[in-house]
Structure 1
Amino acid sequence: MKELGKISQLPVNRFTENGAYLGLSDGTEVLIPKRYLSGEEKEGDVLQVFVYTDSEDRPVAVTDRPHALVDQFAVLEVKEVTGIGAFLEWGLEKDLLLPLSEMKQKVKRGDKVLVMVCIDYKTNRLLAVSKYEDFILDDTSVFQAGQEVEALVFDRTDLGFKALINGFYEGLFYSNETFKPLAVGDKVKAFVKKVREDGKIDLQLAPVGRQKFEEGAETILKKLSENPFLPLNDKSDPSVIREALGMSKKQFKQCVGQLYKKKKIVLKEDGIYLA
C-alpha cells in the first residue's frame, strides 16, 4: 500500500454504516470512519486523508494530519513507556510506537525525542526510529557561510543546541553565541556561521556580517516605534541588553552606531530616543 504514512487524495467508492470506503492505488479500499465525514460527501468525491493503521492494525484513513509523515523527522513527546518501547504523541488518536530496538537511548515520560517516521515492512505498521544518525546526510558542501536555513532544535548538550537543518543535516548553536531562548522542539530561521573542515555546521540565529547589524537595527527601531525611548546605552549590562533586545552588547553597540549615523536615533545619557 503506497499510501501508508502519506497524505493522499482518494476517491469515495461507497458508504457503509461505519463510514466510507476510499479507493487505493492498488485497487483495494480503506475505511474512513464516520466521525471524519461531514455528511455531505457523495460517491466519486475525492478526499484528502492520511492513511495509517488503527489499534487493531487495520488500515484506516483520517482527515487529521500527524506531526510528521513517513520518511520525515519530528521532535515528539513521550506519552508512555512500556516493556516494548515508548509511545509518542504525534497528533493522531493512536500514538506512534518507538520500539526499544530503535531507541538511541532510554527515554522517560515527558521527554522530547527526535525521530524518523518509518514503515516496518514485516508488519506493515508505522513506527518511530530515534537513531537519527542513520538518516542524516553527510555531504554538507551544499551549504556556505551566511546561508539562511530552517532549523529544528532537537537536543541540548554542554556546547549548545543540536539542530536538524533543512530536514536532513545536523548543525549546532553554541550556547555562548545564542542570545535568544531556545528549547528542544523549536523550529527557527537560522544562518550558517561556518562549515567546518570535518563537514560539521555551526549555526547562529542572526544573519552573518553587515546584514546582521541591519536586522538588529530594525529590532531597535521596532522597539522605539512601540515606545520612543529605550533606557539603554553603551554602559548597560550585557544581560539587560540581551533581555530587552535578544542580542549581544557588541551587536547592540554596532547597531546603535549604524542608526546614529543614519540619523534615525538620538543618543542621550539616559538612553536612546527615536529621532
Structure 2
Amino acid sequence: MPFTERTYRIIKEMTYPVTFKIDKNGFIILSSKIRNLLSLDHDFKENDEVSGRIYSINKSIGAFIAIDNKYDSLLRLNELQGIHIEGELIEARVKEVKSDGKIELSLRKRAYLEIDNDSDKILDYLYENDGVAYISDKSSPEKIKKLFGISKSSFKKAIGRLYKNNDIKIYTNKIELIEGKNV
C-alpha cells in the first residue's frame, strides 16, 4: 500500500478494510480510502446488532465503521469509550437510521437493559469506597463521566432506580449506601 493511499498508520498483523486500485503504471495497489465505496443501501433498522471495522477516526466527530465491509456507519465521539484504532473490529447496536440511509451506532445496550449495568457500576463504587460517593445528580456531566464512564442522564436514571429499590440515600453533594446493604 503506497504511503499516499494510507489514511492511518498500518500495524503489523492487524486487519483493515481496504480496496484494490490500479495505479498510473497499471500496478494493482491497496488503498485505505474506502468511504466512497461503502453503501448506504441496506436493510438495517434501529436496535439491530452489527459488526464492522473502524476505517477512519475523526477526533471531533467519531469513528467511521465499515459494517460487514460494505456499509458506511458512524459511532459518534460521545459513544466512544476508551482507546480505539483504525482496523479494530467493533460490535455495536444500530442507534438510528437516518432518512438518507446513514447509520449511527452505539456501543451501549438499549436503555432499559443498560440501566442495570449502570446501577451495578455505582453500587460497585459504593462498596469499594466505604458506602459513599461524593457525587450527586447536581454534579457536572464531566465528573460523572470520569467517575463512572456514563452520561449524566444515565447516572440519574441509575441512582433513581437504586433510590427506588432502597439501596441508597441521595444528598445534595453525595450518595450513600443504606446501612445493611454492604457486602
TM-score (norm 2): 0.71
Q: 3-state DSSP class of the match of 1:170?
A: strand
Aligned to 2:53: 152
* 1: CA distance, partners of 2:47 / 2:176: 32
Aligned to 1:180: 81
Unaligned runs of 5+ in 2: 23-27
TM superposition shift of 1:213: 2.3
Aligned to 2:116: 214
TM superposition shift of 1:220: 1.9
Following superposition of structure 1 onto structure 2, how do residues 247-258 of structure 1 map, counting pairs within 5 Å?
247-258=150-161
* 2: CA distance, partners of 1:182 / 1:236: 25
Unaligned runs of 5+ in 1: 1-83, 87-99, 121-125
TM superposition shift of 1:182: 4.5
**Greater RCO between the two (CA within 8 Å, min separation 6)?**
2
TM superposition shift of 1:216: 2.0
TM superposition shift of 1:207: 2.0
TM superposition shift of 1:164: 2.5
Q: 3-state DSSP class of the match of 1:263?
A: coil
Aligned to 1:241: 144
Whether 1:265 aligns to 2:168 is yes
CA 1:165–1:230 in 2, change beyond 3 Å: closer, same or farther? farther
CA 1:255–1:189 in 2, change beyond 3 Å: closer, same or farther? farther
Whether 1:204 aligns to 2:106 is yes
Q: Report how many residues are paired.
A: 168
* 1: CA distance, partners of 2:29 / 2:176: 56
TM superposition shift of 1:231: 1.8
Deviations 1:34-82 (A, max 9, x none): xxxxxxxxxxxxxxxxxxxxxxxxxxxxxxxxxxxxxxxxxxxxxxxxx
Greater fraction of residues in strand: 1
* 1: CA distance, partners of 2:134 / 2:68: 39
* 2: CA distance, partners of 1:222 / 1:189: 25
Q: 3-state DSSP class of the match of 2:150?
A: coil
| Preserved contact between residue 238 and residue 249 of structure 1 (Cα < 8 Å) | yes
Q: 3-state DSSP class of the match of 1:144?
A: coil
* 1: CA distance, partners of 2:95 / 2:158: 19
TM superposition shift of 1:133: 4.0
CA 1:207–1:144 in 2, change beyond 3 Å: closer, same or farther? same
TM superposition shift of 1:118: 6.0
| Preserved contact between residue 134 and residue 175 of structure 2 (Cα < 8 Å) | yes
* 1: CA distance, partners of 2:81 / 2:104: 16
Following superposition of structure 1 onto structure 2, how do residues 122-201 of structure 1 map, counting pairs within 5 Å?
128-133=30-35, 136-141=38-43, 143-157=44-58, 158-175=60-77, 177-178=78-79, 180-185=81-86, 186-201=88-103
| Preserved contact between residue 19 and residue 33 of structure 2 (Cα < 8 Å) | no
Q: Determine which structure has more spread, i.e. the larger CA radius of gyration.
A: 1
Q: 3-state DSSP class of the match of 1:145?
A: coil
Q: 3-state DSSP class of the match of 1:214?
A: helix
RMSD between aligned residues: 3.4
